């Protein structure tokens, strides 16, 4: 981590220094102006804000978020500050989700990744060229802190699929809440491989932790998010990828030597779905779909529920299924009797009386529009029928 961070800083200093030297040596005309983030130029971003305010002011970063409360969308938006979310995978989807939640004022984010920023990542959102070589958690931490200093962060440059790091992941899920004792409120999986998904699935089944999984297809034109509530919905092992279900080698899921396509549009849309579902789940508004897909080629957004598999290979999943069946049923809220509408003007000060009239003129029926029978017709026949209607 330290090395990645140092390299990123050194590169930034060297590039800005060269720009100054060129400007001075020419002596004529304007010196070359190089763009640098405002935070680096001025030293610090905005100060921390103790409480969210609904006051509509240009310098209030929460005024438009708090408007959700004023408009009746969210009952108590300030509660966002009490939640902690753990994100595994700070890549094309995870980094954008982290930024969105940071801008929304989430209480705490715990970030896990072990990869480095590369120039090959620049077709996506969030990361910048000067961050190349830095670990993704260090690069994202610097950016996110500058966006919103009110959010608490924990960053771990670790591969969660190793035994040691798996135990560390379990510990942070169990004790990563705002008080560092309680569990996190939600886990988000933004990883791109089967092993990491299975690791997160195992940890969340073991701890009875709600989580959301996400993914983008290899050809970059489809994506999905899936809500996993242990015992209620199918876990990742309940409905594994086709290759695994057929008993083939899981390594075939991600083909060796094949460069997967990547579109910032599909990544951003999937990240938006995931961040939106996170807000709805935490703040209790709207409907959180069990599965929501996105097909860019057909502009298709499938959504459906996935029941858990009673024969799931995960013992912990089967245990959670039984617990869900045995849970006490929630009492249905009592329906209030409808009250009769109040009389608007009981005094009738002006003595107004409404009477039915027998001399009312019948309203003529509007002319019926001619209909075209489209059953079994070709496009040419259909267009000919439309021409007759318009010319007649």
C-alpha to C-alpha distance for 227 and 192, rounded to whole angstroms: 17
Contacts of residue 340, Cβ cutoff 8 Å, sequence gap at least 6: none
CA–CA dist 96, 127 (Å, integer): 9
The answer to whether 317 and 239 have CB atoms below 8 angstroms apart is no
Are 304 and 295 a contacting pair, CB within 8 Å?
no
Q: What CA–CA distance (Å, rounded) separates 200 from 95? A: 18
- Active site members: 259
- φ and ψ at 142, to 5 degrees? -65, -45
Quote the CA–CA distance of 291 and 186 in Å, as a whole number: 16
Exposed / middle / buried, residue 184 (Cβ in 10 Å: 0-12, 13-18, 19+): buried
Closest alpha carbon to 105 in 52, 56, 58: 52
Nearest Cα to Cα of residue 222 among 188, 261, 256, 194: 261
Nearest in space to 197 (alpha carbons), one of 252, 240, 229, 151: 240
**Distance in angstroms (rounded) separating the CA atoms of residues 320 and 357:** 68
The contacts of residue 182 (CB under 8 Å, 6+ apart) are: 175
What count of residues does the chain have? 392
Query: What is the Cα–Cα distance from 269 to 103, expressed in whole angstroms?
Result: 17
In the three-class reduction of DSSP (H, G, I as helix; E, B as strand; rest coil), residue 294 is classed as strand
């Amino acid at each position: 981590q330290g090395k990645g961070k140092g390299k990123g800083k050194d590169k930034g200093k060297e590039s800005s220094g060269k720009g100054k030297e060129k400007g001075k040596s020419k002596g004529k005309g304007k010196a070359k102006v190089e763009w640098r983030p405002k935070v680096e130029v001025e030293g610090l971003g905005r100060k921390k804000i103790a409480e969210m305010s609904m006051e509509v002011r240009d310098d209030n970063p929460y005024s438009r978020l708090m408007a959700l409360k004023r408009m009746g969308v969210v009952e108590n938006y300030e509660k966002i500050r009490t939640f902690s979310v753990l994100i595994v995978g700070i890549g094309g989807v995870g980094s954008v989700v982290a930024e969105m939640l940071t801008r929304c004022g989430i209480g705490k984010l715990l970030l896990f990744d072990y990869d480095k920023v590369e120039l090959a990542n620049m077709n996506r959102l969030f990361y910048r060229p000067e961050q190349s070589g830095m670990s993704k958690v260090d690069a994202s931490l610097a950016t996110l802190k500058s966006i919103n200093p009110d959010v608490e962060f924990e960053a771990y440059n670790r591969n969660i699929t190793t035994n040691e790091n798996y135990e560390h992941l379990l510990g942070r899920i169990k004790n990563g809440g705002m008080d560092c004792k309680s569990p996190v409120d939600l886990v988000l999986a933004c990883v791109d491989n089967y092993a990491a998904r299975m690791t997160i699935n195992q940890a969340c089944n073991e701890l009875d932790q709600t989580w959301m999984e996400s993914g983008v297809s290899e050809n970059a034109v489809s994506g999905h998010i899936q809500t996993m509530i242990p015992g209620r919905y199918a876990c990742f092992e309940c409905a594994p990828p086709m290759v695994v279900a057929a008993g083939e080698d899981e390594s075939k899921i991600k083909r060796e030597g094949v460069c997967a396509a990547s579109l910032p549009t599909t990544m951003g849309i999937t990240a938006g779905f995931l961040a939106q579902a996170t807000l709805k789940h935490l703040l209790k508004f709207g409907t959180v779909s069990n599965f929501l897909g996105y097909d860019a080629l057909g502009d298709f957004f499938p959504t459906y529920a996935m029941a858990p598999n009673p024969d799931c290979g995960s013992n912990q999943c089967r245990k959670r299924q039984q617990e869900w069946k045995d849970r006490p049923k929630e009492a249905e809220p009592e329906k209030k009797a409808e009250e009769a509408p109040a009389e608007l003007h009981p005094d009738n000060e002006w003595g107004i009386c409404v009477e039915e009239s027998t001399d009312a003129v019948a309203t003529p029926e509007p002319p019926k529009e001619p209909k075209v029978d489209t059953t079994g017709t070709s496009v040419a026949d259909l267009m000919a029928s439309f021409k007759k209607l318009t010319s007649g």
